[in-house]
Structure 1
Amino acid sequence: MKQMIFAAAMSLQFAAPSAHAANGDVAVYGLDQGQRRHSALKQINTGNVKRMVPVWNLSLASNHAQSQQPLVIDGVMYLPTADATLAVDALSGRQLWKTSLNYAPDVFGVVCCGILNRGLAAHGGKLFRGTLDAQLTALDMRSGKELWRAKLQDYKEGYAATGAPLVANGVLISGISGGEYGTRGFIAGFDPDTGKELWRRHTTAAPGEPGGDSWPGETHKRGGGPTWLTGTYDPELDLVYWGVGNGGPWNAAYRKGDNLYIGSVIAVRPKTGEVVWHYQFSPNDPFDYDGTNELVIADLPMDGTRRKVVMQANRNGYFYVLDRATGELLRANPFIDKITWAKGIDMKTGRPIDTDDTKKIRASLTMEQAIDVWPSALGGKNWSPMSYDPSSHLVYANTLNIGFPYKTVDPEYNKGAFYLGMEFTSLSWPENGNRGYLKAIDPVSGKTRWQVPSAIPNFAGVLTTASGLLFTGAMTGEFLAYDSKSGRKLWQFQTGSGIVGMPITWERNGRQYVTVTSGVGGVYTLFSGDERLKNIPTGGSVWTFALMDQ
């Protein structure tokens, strides 16, 4: 079903967005191809941000989690929800068109973890998005008309597509989610004009393939390896970096071995899907630590030289810096205070140094008593993306301070049901009450420059600007601005529901705007048991702000 409102304004030309944001637009997921989420805009700064006020607000008519990042191209804002795609006049908030998705009733029962969509790709006058029933669709940017649809996999087996696709060297690339359901992960490349599948790269290696001997028997067939967050493209090297998620089942004793390529980053050629190099953050990954968190590329001063790197704050609690041409491990430092699963990372081998508890968990098909593990499966940082400021060479992230009791049980596969092989009953909370921190982190040393504690952890993305501002959101609904140098809070606005999306900033006609979506939901809401969330209203909306006229 499609609702369209046309006006004279729609006669504007819908030019194809460039690879990088131009003229103040936000044309790609992550604000740029390196997923740095940093803007050069300076009109709103630390001195005047207190004058920032709402310009418009639009209801999204949805009670699901609003985890998306909007795009702004030629004066039009595009954004997805779990079940629709919208085009909005960016200056007024007036809806221009809306294209809805009609899901079968059983779709919502086989989606983990939250009914949501994270973003769009734009290329050649088309918008691309994934769907909860594991399809990839293309829409006309002018009208919202669906142009083609490609099936990724069978949603009834637990597959879904919630991440933004990526266009790299003319190829549309999509990942897949569903690692908790006994699925087999992959990324796939498509012709953006026709939807024809060009290649498919599975992320659990089969016998006879490189890494195939890291799986016992046929466990790779239901071995997980989801690719549910968006990859990053380096046009200079013509490499796409894509994170690979957890093994299936979580019970690692059932699939002894490293289990390539779970818990890894793979660097692939966008034209062919060829794996050029890989690095495995968490071999065998019993704890759902994944390798899917955003991969940020930067030119980082290190050891007296400037290195071309790709960085990740992994859910396992370590911050990794890799050479993005070769995959060489350059740094691996803890960025959270409490890590009990590993003693550290061996820089010679690149492998974690297991604690005795982790050794026991890896070897035990079943356990009589649970072992407390930190961080929890939510990670030291969940999927909510960080920002990298190239002037300070710091990253800014919402981090977590949560553990969980881990007890293995015999795994049992049932189509469309969780396939974990572990008993999940609760989470473990910190004694000081601070379940999360907004942190400024030095990626070279791993040291925290400043931090802001939060009793209810934040799951919003982080945005920084060249004027020294940092924007993020709280589960309790506040949209927040900080001084990125000190962590001092400068401004806040209550949006009416929890923020779990990604803020953006953009410019039109010489005026800078900041946009964020609001609408509580997602993995913490579903699995934390946090009673305080009951008082946070649901309901999705978009808020756009600018400086109040003097």
Structure 2
Amino acid sequence: MKIKCLALISACAIAGAAFAQNTSDLTADHKTAGDVLTYGMGYNNQRYSALTQINKDNVGKLSATWAYSLNNPQGHESQPIVHDGVMYITTHDSTAALDPLTGKQLWKNMIEYKRDVFAMACCGLLNRGVAIYNGKVYRGTLDSHIIAYDAKTGKEVWKTKVADYKLGHAITSAPLVANGVLLTGIAGGEYGTRGFVDGYDLNTGKKLWRFNTTAYGDEKGADTWPGETALRGGAPTWLTGAYDPELDLVYWGTGNGGPWNAEFRKGDNLYIASVIAIRPKTGELVWHYQFSPNDLYDYDATEVGMLVDMKIKGKDTKALVQANRNGFFYVLDRTNGKLIAANPYVKVNWADKIDMATGRPVESALTKSIRAGGAEEIFPSVLGGKNWTPMAWNPANNLAYANTLNMSWPYELAKPEYKQGEWYLGMNFKGVTMPKNEPHGYLRAIDPMTGKDKWSKPWPAQPSMAGTLVTAGGLVFTGAATGEIMAVDADTGKTLWEFQSGSGIIGLPVTWEHKGQQYVSIVSGGGGVWALLGDARMAETPAGGTLWTFSVK
């Protein structure tokens, strides 16, 4: 991999910025209005802002302040990071620093990949953002490296190889800085790889530890895998985790088992389709919860969910809430992993319920038929009840706001065959089935304890794969596959404002303020996993990448 620094310009414009951003700043990110320092707008991943300048009464006056071309026709899922008067944004092959008030480019670094790298990227050529710490910005690459840049100049400080991309590994997620350690996950679960979470030295890039997410040998849980199947067992970790500084626990979600045909890896297969709670300094496992033991349907748990403090049965509870791809909405005690609630939030027919005594799904007759060699139509589809895009949490009403999916898929097992660099599935993949005369997705306000809606807003065309942001101004910001960036009433779901961005929205909105002015930013640029399914409607929305920023004049 070759790195080129483009336009080391305007460094003087930010030379006076105080880049002594540290652990205390990261810990307070969810409370501070002027910066967005973490993926999730806070270690808790709640994507909530206490800002109220933009509200239900004036959001109709929201207008574009500036737009920055990402000069990239791929899908765009990057979350902007804002610190000390600089915004950082990524694509699969670039990292840029911008003036957040004007969109002026301060520096930009390009990555030149070898040609065969792109063939290994499962679900689009993309990147989800940077981490920032003490004058450096950090990102992952499609060829499985971590790079540290000087935040002022864009100059490369160090570069570390994490894994071999030729085996199917890639990094698409933003790293996480927790307790002085840089953590990253890895993608590649469809390629017969072995997942992990790594910890790295922030100053040198030296690997400090690795936690393998498929247990093998003398690792705890190895007895849940037959033979050496764990070594190609998947459990990728391709989204950013969350962190509780008080408990000093990092929570990371893991993905599907490999191959998808679970009959070739009988057993629970720890730690696929799970959330793991680990110590950031050492990678020590403190607890885990497995949502879908022996996962048959690619029901990733990589979108780890949100850390919320709420009263449950009159008791103050430190909870982790997750809308799992398997169609159930889970509430866990994040201090110990104990299951508190699990209820369907979309149509589910692969399981009858979650056994609250064991925490395990009770598989339906349809799943039993598939395991015996039958072919069945399964809800939810391979894309899940909700895909990778994160939810937002409103602490004022304890509701989660999420874009959910309403579709199924025909499922039939086949014999898997491992070939390096090729998908390792073991099923006859035929895409997804769109229900007739029903919306294919909804924006929903969900009660985590019941999985039921306070309200739902159907997407009239394609389902949305965008993230959500909720504010104390009573607004939920999100976007549509057809290009609209929008604000809806957090209490009713009514659309209060929308703006046609020119391409589909699969990105993550953020908000911050500067000198009393509130701004909202989000990237536009359709693509990602939805584009891979070949929906003809994708052709109705142009490709292209733009970072938009809005304010009320």
Q: Report the TM-score range of the alignment, normalised by the length of the smaller protein.
A: over 0.9
Residues 521-540 of structure 1 mapped to structure 2, 5 A cutoff: 521-527=527-533, 529-540=534-545
Q: Is the 8 A contact 1:14 1:141 kept in 2?
A: no
**Is the contact between residue 471 and residue 482 of structure 1 (CA under 8 Å) also seen in structure 2?**
yes
Displacement of 1:16: 3.4
Aligned structure 1 segments of 4 or more residues deviating by more than 3 angstroms: none
Q: Find the partner of 1:514 among 520, 534, 547.
A: 520
Distance 2:68 2:129 in 1: 18
Aligned mate of 2:476, from 451, 470, 473: 470
1:49-77 alpha-carbon deviations (Å, 9 max, x no partner): 00000000110000011101000111111
Find the counterpart in structure 2 of residue 427 from structure 1: 432
1:463-521 deviations in Å (ceiling 9; x for gaps): 00011010000010000100001111100000000010000001011100000100000
Equivalent residue of 2:182, what SS?
A: strand
Q: Distance in 2 between matches of 1:23 and 1:426?
A: 43
- What is aligned with 2:60? 50
Amino acid at match of 1:335: Y
User: What amino acid maps onto 2:552 in structure 1?
Assistant: L
Query: Take 1:310 and 1:11, find their aligned partners in 2: how far apart are those partners?
Result: 40
| Contact 1:294/1:383 (8 A) holds in 2 | no
Alignment correspondent of 2:214: 204
Match for residue 10 of structure 2 among 6, 11, 15: 6
Q: 2:332 aligns with which of 306, 316, 322?
A: 322
Cα displacement string for residues 410-464 of structure 1 (whole angstroms, at most 9, x for unaligned residues): 0000101000001111211123331100000011122110000013100000000
Matching of residues 337-348 of structure 1 within 5 Å: 338-348=347-357
> CA offsets per residue over residues 182-209 of structure 1, 9 Å max, x none?
0000000000010000000000001332
> Do the aligned partners of 2:14 and 2:86 also contact (CA within 8 Å) in 1?
no
Report what 1:230 is aligned to.
240
* 1:88 is the counterpart of 2:92: no
How much does 1:13 deviate?
Answer: 1.7
Distance in 1, matches of 2:535 and 2:119, equals 22
- Give the alignment partner of residue 19 of structure 2, picking from 7, 15, 19: 15
Q: CA deviation at 1:7?
A: 6.0
CA distance in 1, matches of 2:33, 2:490: 24
Q: Distance in 2 between matches of 1:400 and 1:142?
A: 41
Instruction: Give distance in 1, aligned partners of 2:45 and 2:73.
Output: 28
Residue 8 of structure 1, CA deviation:
4.5
1:449 aligns with 2:458: no
Q: Deviations over 1:204-238 (max 9, x none)?
A: 00133211110000000000010000010000000
2:486 is aligned to: 480
Report SS of the residue matched to 1:359. helix
Contact kept in structure 1, 2:287 and 2:337, CA below 8 Å: yes
> Could you say which residue in structure 1 is the equivalent of 2:507?
501
Matches within 5 A, 1:121-160: 121-160=131-170
2:397 to 392, 395, 401: 392
* Mapping 1:45-84, distance limit 5 Å: 45-84=55-94
SS in 2 for 1:525: helix
Please tell me whether residue 251 in structure 1 is matched to residue 261 in structure 2: yes
Aligned to 1:108, the other structure's residue is in SS state: helix
Which deviations, in whole Å up to 9, do the C-alpha atoms of 1:287-326 show, x marking residues without a partner?
0001111321011121111210111100000011100111
Q: Distance in 1 between matches of 2:413 and 2:453?
A: 34
Tell me whether 1:459 sits opposite 2:469 in the alignment: no
1:313 maps onto 2:323 in alignment? yes
Deviation of the 1:340 alpha carbon: 0.8
Is 1:402 paired with 2:412? no
Q: Is the 2:305–2:320 contact (alpha carbons within 8 Å) kept by the matching residues of 1? A: yes
**Count of aligned positions:** 542
Could you tell me how far 1:406 is from its partner in structure 2?
0.6
> Which residues of 2 match residues 166-245 of structure 1 at below 5 A?
166-245=176-255
Q: Confirm or deny that 1:98 pairs with 2:108.
A: yes
Q: 2:368 aligns with which of 337, 344, 359?
A: 359
Give the whole-Å Cα distance in 2 for the aligned partners of 1:16 and 1:441.
39
> Are the aligned partners of 2:275 and 2:304 in contact in 1 as well (CA < 8 Å)?
no
Query: C-alpha distance in 2, partners of 1:31/1:386?
Result: 12
Which consecutive unaligned segments of at least 5 residues does structure 1 have?
none
Instruction: Judge conservation of contact 2:524–2:545 (CA < 8 Å) in 1.
Output: yes
2:119 counterpart SS class: helix
Asked whether the equivalents of residues 291 and 314 of structure 1 are also in contact (C-alpha less than 8 Å), the reply is: yes
Conserved? CA contact 1:241–1:295, under 8 Å:
no
Name 1:114's counterpart in structure 2. Answer: 124
- Alignment check: 8 A CA contact 2:33 2:51 kept: no
Give the secondary structure class of the aligned counterpart of 1:106.
helix
Equivalence for 1:303: 313
Could you tell me which amino acid in structure 2 is paired with residue 398 of structure 1?
N
Does structure 2 retain, via aligned residues, the 8 Å contact 1:498–1:519?
yes
Tell me if the contact between 2:11 and 2:107 (Cα under 8 Å) persists in the aligned partners.
Answer: no
Distance 1:193 1:208 in 2: 32
Whole-Å Cα distance in 2 between the matches of residues 101 and 515 of structure 1? Answer: 24
| C-alpha contact (below 8 Å) 1:321/1:444 kept by paired residues | yes
TM-score, length of structure 1 as denominator length: 0.97
The answer on whether the counterparts of 1:397 and 1:440 sit within 8 Å (CA) in structure 2 is yes
Q: CA RMSD in A?
A: 1.0
1:407 counterpart letter in structure 2:
E
Residue equivalent to 1:437: 442
Question: Kindly tell me: are residues 11 and 208 of structure 1, through their superposed partners in 2, closer, same or farther at Cα, counting changes over 3 Å?
Answer: closer
1:412 to 410, 417, 441: 417
3-state SS in 1 of match to 2:112: coil
* Alignment-mate amino acid for residue 20 of structure 2: A
1:379 aligns with 2:384: yes
Q: Distance in 1 between matches of 2:451 and 2:382?
A: 21
Aligned to 1:541: 546
Task: Give, in whole Å, the separation in 1 of the partners of 2:479 and 2:244.
Answer: 29
| Matched letter for residue 276 of structure 1 | V
Report how far residue 37 of structure 1 moved: 0.2
The letter of the residue matching 1:500 is I
TM alignment of 1:264-279, pairs within 5 A:
264-279=274-289
Partner in structure 2 of residue 33 of structure 1? 43
Shift of 1:23: 4.7
